[in-house]
Amino acid sequence: MSAIASQPTLEFWYEFASNYSYLSMMRIDQLAQDFDVNIAWKPFLLGPIFKSFGWESSPFVLQKEKGIYVWKDMVRQCKKYDIPWKKPSVFPRNSVLALRVALLGVDQPWIGAFNRRVMQLNFAEDREINDQTAIAEILRDLGLAADQLMTEALSDSNKLALRTQTEEAQRRGIFGAPSFFVKGEMFWGNDRLEDALHFATQRA
C-alpha cells in the first residue's frame, strides 16, 4: 500500500466515444508501469462540454476537413502503436451506459480491462457500446456480478455521480478528451500522454 501511496499519480480523463481516448486507453497501462506512475481513472461525458461551446456534435463531425483528416490519422496512429482499428460506422457513439459502469469501477481491479474492452467494441469491432447486453457480457467475462453492477450503474445516485464528474471536468477547463492532470497541470490529447508521465516523475 505504501509503495502505491508514494507513487506519483496521473489523472486520466477519458470518454468511450472519443477515438483519441481509445489510443491512450490501449497504451496507458504499459506506460504507467514503465514510468512507475499510478493512474486515477476519470470517465466523463464530453457531450455536455461540447454543448457548452454551442456545438451539437464532435468537431470531427462539424468540421468536414478535420473529420476527413482524423480518420486517416487514426489509421496511421493505430499502425504506429500496433493497435487494432476499424472505423466506427456511427460517430460519436452514445457512451453514457458504459461510462456509468466505468464510474462504479474506478477504484476496482477490473477497471482497466473493462475500459479496454469497451473501447475495442467501439473502435476495433464497430459495435454499439450503449447496449445493456454487450456491457453485461463484458462484466460477466471479467467474472463480475453483471446484473448487480448494471442495477447500480443505472441508479439515480450513480447517474448523478457521472453528471458531477462531468461538471468537475468542465470546472477544470477540460475541452476535449483524453485529458491528463498531473500535479494540477493539464495535458490534452493522446500526443501528450508521454509528456504528462514525464512530468509526473519529475521532482518538484
How many secondary structure helices (H) and strands (E) does the chain include? 11, 4
C-beta of 76 vs 86, nearer to its own copies = 76
Element (H, E) at 161: helix 156-171
Spatial CB neighbours of 8, under 8 Å, sequence gap ≥ 6: 36, 37, 38, 182, 183, 200, 201
Instruction: Compare residues 66 and 163 and give the one whose CB is closer to its own copies.
Output: 66
Q: How far is the CB of 85 from its own copies (least distance, A)?
A: 16
- Helix 111-123 and helix 132-141, axial crossing angle in degrees, nearest 10: 140
Nearer to its own copies, 120 or 190 (CB): 190
C-alpha cell of 196? 504528462
* Binder of its own copies out of 57, 63, 148, 164 (CB under 8 A): 63
Kindly state whether residue 66 participates in binding its own copies, applying the rule CB under 8 A: yes
Out of 76, 86, 87, 183, the only residue in the binding site for its own copies (CB under 8 A) is 76
Contact between 173 and its own copies by CB under 8 A: the answer reads: yes
Closer residue to its own copies in complex, CB, 156/203: 203
Judging by beta carbons within 10 Å of its beta carbon (0-12, 13-18, 19+), is residue 116 exposed, middle or buried? middle
Taking Cα atoms as reference points, which of 106, 198, 194 lies closest to residue 153?
A: 106
C-alpha cell read off for 117: 474492452
- 195 near its own copies, judged by CB under 8 A: yes
C-alpha cell at 181: 492532470
Instruction: Give helix 64-81 / helix 19-35 axis angle, nearest 10°.
Output: 30
Quote the least distance from Cβ 179 to its own copies, whole Å. 9
Mark 88-127 with x for binding to its own copies (rule: CB under 8 A) and - for no binding.
Answer: ----------------------------------------
Is position 197 an interface residue for its own copies (rule: CB under 8 A)? no
- The torsion angles phi and psi of 43, rounded to 5 degrees, stand at -70, 140
Would you give the binding string for its own copies spanning residues 23-62, x where CB under 8 A is met?
------------------------------x---------
73 binds its own copies (CB under 8 A): yes
Which residues would be at the binding site for its own copies (CB under 8 A)? 53, 63, 65-66, 68-69, 72-73, 76, 80, 173-176, 185-189, 191-192, 195, 199
